[in-house]
Structure 1
């Protein structure tokens, strides 16, 4: 067998893969227990754990009576953790995995091992009654999940397992639902606050916030408004030019809502704007041999990597009591803009070296990839649902969504100092690629959900949903050398049916067992137009089986939840490279099995202990489809066969085990003052950053294997981190101090190799660290 370094096709294969990956055509891409504490400051004298109301089934219910595995994170918990982004609380939620690429909003989310293997979303996002985020394959939904700055958020509900019947496309792995604080027609309230933070070896940050609730017409009309700005402290240095703390940025959140309440009806309008802007990413360089930092919290940046995401979201909700049932109309409109620049100098800056035979003076240069995503989304849902508490509860609904998106990609190649390449090469390879991908996604669905209580103890719930989506997109390559300049269109249509059935049995007043079988799907869509690729990729579907127990002991001073599940995933959407073009194909199956446990205990008044754990075994059941790249003319009759995933691979970024524990203690002082102290410890097992890749160089006829190369994924070590806080409050004033990652543990959320596309030499590993030790102080005043 010949060495891969001794034959020409290997260098060709690296260039072929570089061509496909450079543009990728948008196809790659305190323990919080099940029952959260109250949103207000906890009662230091309470002995019984709080009852919590959730809206998982689109009606208000006690979380202990809902046959859904879920976690509710209340406002007080978010404040205790000083949570400003999803990565601050994700490790405290069983079954939830979040991978940060360096800033809020650059996150991938998965649940129960259903990893983000394609651009389509696997975890849905709702804000109150309306969905937010694209279901198209061309808006990079998995890379840029909604990541709200949680000011004016009443709670965050995390629903695990497929939610396809009630919440539709893109929620096959689960759902994250932000419940915002509503205007109160009876209460006048104002709030101001601010704080400072000091990261280890970094630039200090400052934040401020203001909010109000103001009745306009007594018991009828009220307005609520808020604004918050949070500085993202910098702590990454640049090894190329010596600049310090280059990853500074900010988050802003603005929201206003107007609510009218009449006799038997209500109307609420809300407008929200969220913005994230950073100068560079929080990514550091590791030595590829030792996996140790090259030079502390620092990275090689030849071209700055700014990131900006803006979302304007408007919603209108109408609720009418019809006597026998409630009618709800939920309308939304969102306008989202995402712009990100990636420094690909150490990968594609080698490209001029491929032309040394024509011009020996050429040298490696600098390169960057710009990706700009713009999307508008309109949604409308109508529901008619029975009153809660009846023996037969039912819900009928209809849903429509329309997305219009643009995806712009531009790959530039310059000299190493950023100036244009010398003539004539600036006009030949100065632009490696430029293309536009406009697309539309339109979906209409009808759904029904219901439950019937056969006895006081036994009840069965069921749901169905029928959806149809129609999609269009255009592949418009306008410049560059990596892809042929051309304009091509494609369309797709698809019908999808999902269902769920949930029997539950009340063992006693505080103990319930349930079983759930349900399905979900990730929408397919029109594929990139290229010979060898299917014209459309089908939906990825899964079936989930779940068995759960929710219980309370010792007069509700102990709450214990246990869940076991198995998820069968079929028609996984995976990347395929054909003729230098990256698209999607359906291929491969996977199975995810796991256990989740959550315990809360209040041994004495004011003291709450929490313990969460999740075990997950998520593996690929069969090899992903083979990608075949012809190697002519370098090797007549030769082909490069690529598998991007092999049977037995672990799902990327899915730890086998996660554990978290918290302690919260509140006690009263004189004159209405109280003290709160607490902390949380989060432990995350090791993970892989990808699936195994196998490359085979062969002669097609007669088939002769010349070389086989196996590239195994990187293994990211597990870690444990400690967070602590203390607060002093009298109801109006609250002073709170906190320390995130108190031991300054150096651990990583994501990791990838930075390898030259031409030489195949790995320069370093790029890793996103968890936030270094950060000390902060916050002050709030309510009146």
Structure 2
């Protein structure tokens, strides 16, 4: 009985948090299409379509439901589902129902809590979330380390992009080269700060579409994002290569087919000693075809004011950045239980210059000969359909992704080739990635003792990378050195997972991914009359397993252990300079680098007390990493990829929350020991430096309070602080500067109603200038003390309006 209670609560509760910012209100009409069948399946369909939560932990005796089709308010539809089932529904908090047998309903119980005013959250912490496991689940009933922030929580904590998110969730850090140039690091699993040929450590997804291969995080601005989910630990079984550290999933609001909606926001900010900034965004949702279709359009334009001075060129505030984007999505009902969706997401980032400083020159200053601009253009297009097939849930997705990046570095101080004395030299790096991805999956509906899903995945990625060393003042002269490189990667996989209820509160999950990859590389390099042509290919076939055992003695407690594997394929090194020598015996750089794999072993617990107001989550883990791939720098400053050796990380992570009467407290921390266990003899690494870019500790604290201040109006205050421990920039024993050891702070106040809100925030309250990233230019890294200081104290004011 205990097992059924937690299982029913886990698989039959659902919300529309990732579908709409606010669920349906009592009395509001909603169009329902709920087929007849087992009551659990009917109740889950009701929760998804009404965007409310259903607790079925006490509904074991409910009979089958006759279903309901048509447009009605929530109470009418729920009564129709319950007719003849022998159960009744209780409203236990806003948008949360509990189903109980009629025999229990007759027992005297305290009255249900009074509904609060619109916009007010219930006192208890919501545990009903949709997480990045490719199926609906409750975070507290899921045997993984996962964190989720909905739109409201993200706004309260000032989360606008991945860099902000890293300060709000446990075990997540970011490099800080600049917008659109960063890498996500989860659980201290870092292969170094550079982004080159190695595949990403963390899978970045937008609505289940993979956005990256070996490019940096596209840094999508989180406007009209319904929920952000971070799944920590290797996810090779369900997500494949490039998820050794975990998965970051962004879930947008899907078009609402029933109601018109629109909103806009405008903000302005000022940075001490820097330029002003701001953000304008708008959203409109239009239902069509009498509730059978809907279109949602989102657009935004942001400016981040600069604060770094270039004394060499006599220019202040050089690192001004613009980020503009648009997202269009459409949804159509094809049948009662089938829908089709399509969408386009595009974003453009233009940075006038990089944001690092030279500590020998000043905290927020450096001396360069030329500017170092960066452009990052991203485009994603997808079509898909989902619905019932053979009594189960089917989903089909076809997507295309285009990611164009271009960067310039000042190589004047240490050019990689011979140049005239005193010449201004630049290295231009242009990277163009295009991918086509197709995926099909079939998952069981939440009614049986065994929940399962199976799927197939196909992807083809083409990458063009062009590097040039040029004389800046000689525009008509040919490049001093140039390389044209082209890569093609094909991937195919079959994946599956089954969760079995073995009784008495015990559950076992078995999953795996059978994959095959083939990579092809070609390169043509030329310099000073010399040239070098290279072409080769390699293939990998493998299997990535996963096993999880969990025990739930009661609905508020979960204990689990798991083992999972992640992997990345190998590749080839080439160079801009044709005379570069590649070793084939045992030295570095090697022409070919091997794939790496990581096994993670984890034990964790999740517990709630005080009717869900207090929630604690903790996990201990051990990661064993073989043949670590890492992008490194040659003495010339140009990149290559090496297998560094073997490493591991052992750690403890904790996450806790408490909420009562408008007050909410959050805390999280990570303590870990990332290290190299054995070092490739040909690579000048040091075992005592740990894993590059991975701090041994991080923590954050947050407190918020909300209360009603008038009819239809509420106010809130949010305080947040985070600490990132010290780490080393690289594995190289020669160039391994220290960084980190800094704290961030934020104070924000908010006044809002259903239609209007006003937010005032102060970031970096104490105007700290900690070194977030000891890197900016590969050609001067050995010549100067590079540092990326925190953005100085910034004040921002935002106004939001909703139709």
TM-score by length of 2: 0.81
Q: CA deviation at 1:47?
A: 2.1
Cα distance change on mapping 1:527 and 1:348 into 2, 3 Å: closer
1:42 and 1:666 in contact (8 A); partners too = no
CA distance in 1, matches of 2:494, 2:671: 35
2:157 and 2:718 in contact (8 A); partners too = no
Is 1:644 aligned to 2:679, yes or no? no
Q: CA deviation at 1:255?
A: 0.4
Q: CA deviation at 1:86?
A: 1.6
Corresponding position of 1:413: 471
Q: Deviations over 1:620-650 (max 9, x none)?
A: 0012231xxxxxxxxxxxxxxxx33123331
Residue pairs, 1:243-262, within 5 angstroms: 243-261=315-333, 262=335
Q: CA deviation at 1:502?
A: 0.3
CA distance in 2, matches of 1:39, 1:558: 24
Corresponding position of 2:774: 751
Corresponding position of 1:450: 498
Q: CA deviation at 1:526?
A: 3.7
With CA pairs under 8 Å and 6+ residues apart, which has the higher RCO, 1 or 2? 1
CA distance in 1, matches of 2:206, 2:679: 38
1:755 and 1:764 in contact (8 A); partners too = no
Aligned pair count reads: 676
CA distance in 2, matches of 1:155, 1:461: 25
CA distance in 1, matches of 2:655, 2:436: 38
1:547 and 1:563 in contact (8 A); partners too = yes
2:348 and 2:376 in contact (8 A); partners too = yes
1:471 and 1:526 in contact (8 A); partners too = no
Residue 185 (structure 1) aligned to one of 240, 246, 257? 257
1:248 and 1:279 in contact (8 A); partners too = yes
Cα distance change on mapping 1:407 and 1:105 into 2, 3 Å: same
Cα distance change on mapping 1:405 and 1:59 into 2, 3 Å: same
Q: CA deviation at 1:558?
A: 0.3
CA distance in 2, matches of 1:515, 1:685: 28
CA distance in 2, matches of 1:457, 1:755: 55
Q: CA deviation at 1:577?
A: 8.6
Corresponding position of 2:367: 300
1:227 and 1:253 in contact (8 A); partners too = yes
Residue 532 (structure 1) aligned to one of 562, 574, 583? 583
Residue 733 (structure 1) aligned to one of 756, 759, 774? 756
1:753 and 1:764 in contact (8 A); partners too = no
CA distance in 2, matches of 1:756, 1:446: 43
Corresponding position of 1:329: 396
Corresponding position of 1:633: none
Residue pairs, 1:557-572, within 5 angstroms: 557-572=613-628
Corresponding position of 1:766: 786
Q: CA deviation at 1:81?
A: 3.4
CA distance in 2, matches of 1:782, 1:502: 44
Residue 683 (structure 1) aligned to one of 698, 723, 728? 723
1:724 and 1:742 in contact (8 A); partners too = yes
Corresponding position of 1:666: 706
CA distance in 2, matches of 1:398, 1:250: 38
Q: CA deviation at 1:91?
A: 2.2
Is 1:511 aligned to 2:533, yes or no? no
CA distance in 1, matches of 2:157, 2:305: 17
Cα distance change on mapping 1:776 and 1:532 into 2, 3 Å: same
Q: CA deviation at 1:323?
A: 5.1
Q: CA deviation at 1:741?
A: 0.9
Residue 105 (structure 1) aligned to one of 147, 156, 180? 180
CA distance in 2, matches of 1:556, 1:43: 20
Residue pairs, 1:210-249, within 5 angstroms: 210-249=282-321
CA distance in 2, matches of 1:539, 1:42: 53
CA distance in 1, matches of 2:357, 2:531: 36
Cα distance change on mapping 1:480 and 1:579 into 2, 3 Å: farther
Residue 124 (structure 1) aligned to one of 203, 212, 236? 203
**Unaligned regions of 5+ residues in structure 2, if any?**
1-16, 23-116, 576-580, 585-589
2:748 and 2:760 in contact (8 A); partners too = yes
CA distance in 2, matches of 1:488, 1:338: 24
Q: Deviations over 1:351-399 (max 9, x none)?
A: 44xxxxxxxxx53322111111112110000111111242101111110
CA distance in 1, matches of 2:445, 2:777: 57
Residue 133 (structure 1) aligned to one of 212, 227, 232? 212
**3-state SS in 2 of match to 1:645:** coil
Cα distance change on mapping 1:658 and 1:577 into 2, 3 Å: closer
Is 1:381 aligned to 2:439, yes or no? yes
| Stretch deviating more after TM superposition (743-752 or 160-169) | 743-752
Corresponding position of 1:68: 144
Q: Deviations over 1:35-94 (max 9, x none)?
A: 99x966996462211123123221111111111101112212322233333212212221
Q: Deviations over 1:289-313 (max 9, x none)?
A: xxxxx23422222111111111110
CA distance in 2, matches of 1:769, 1:646: 26
Residue pairs, 1:141-290, within 5 angstroms: 141=215, 144-261=216-333, 262-287=335-360
CA distance in 2, matches of 1:371, 1:756: 13
Q: CA deviation at 1:575?
A: 5.6
Corresponding position of 1:742: 765
**3-state SS in 2 of match to 1:166:** helix
**3-state SS in 2 of match to 1:92:** coil
Corresponding position of 1:702: none
Is 1:397 aligned to 2:455, yes or no? yes
1:45 and 1:605 in contact (8 A); partners too = no
Is 1:595 aligned to 2:618, yes or no? no
Q: CA deviation at 1:574?
A: 4.2
TM-score by length of 1: 0.83
Cα distance change on mapping 1:566 and 1:764 into 2, 3 Å: same
CA distance in 1, matches of 2:654, 2:493: 35
2:131 and 2:146 in contact (8 A); partners too = no
Corresponding position of 1:23: none
Corresponding position of 1:775: 795
Corresponding position of 1:638: none
Q: CA deviation at 1:582?
A: 6.3
**3-state SS in 1 of match to 2:480:** strand
Q: Deviations over 1:199-219 (max 9, x none)?
A: 111111122111011101223
Q: Deviations over 1:225-254 (max 9, x none)?
A: 110111111111111122111111211120
Residue 629 (structure 2) aligned to one of 548, 573, 577? 573
Q: Deviations over 1:134-171 (max 9, x none)?
A: 2xxxxx52xx2221101121111111000001011100
Q: Deviations over 1:89-140 (max 9, x none)?
A: 2122211120110x21110222122213463211111111211112xxxxx5
Q: CA deviation at 1:480?
A: 4.6
CA distance in 1, matches of 2:234, 2:674: 16
1:346 and 1:754 in contact (8 A); partners too = no
CA distance in 2, matches of 1:737, 1:120: 39
CA distance in 1, matches of 2:380, 2:259: 26
Q: Deviations over 1:276-328 (max 9, x none)?
A: 111111111112xxxxxx23422222111111111110111210212521111
Cα distance change on mapping 1:152 and 1:395 into 2, 3 Å: same
1:490 and 1:527 in contact (8 A); partners too = no
Corresponding position of 1:460: 508
**Unaligned regions of 5+ residues in structure 1, if any?**
1-34, 135-139, 288-293, 353-361, 421-425, 627-642, 694-710
CA distance in 1, matches of 2:625, 2:316: 45
Corresponding position of 2:170: 94
Corresponding position of 1:719: 742
Q: CA deviation at 1:333?
A: 0.5
Corresponding position of 2:676: 620
Q: CA deviation at 1:753?
A: 8.6
CA distance in 1, matches of 2:690, 2:285: 49
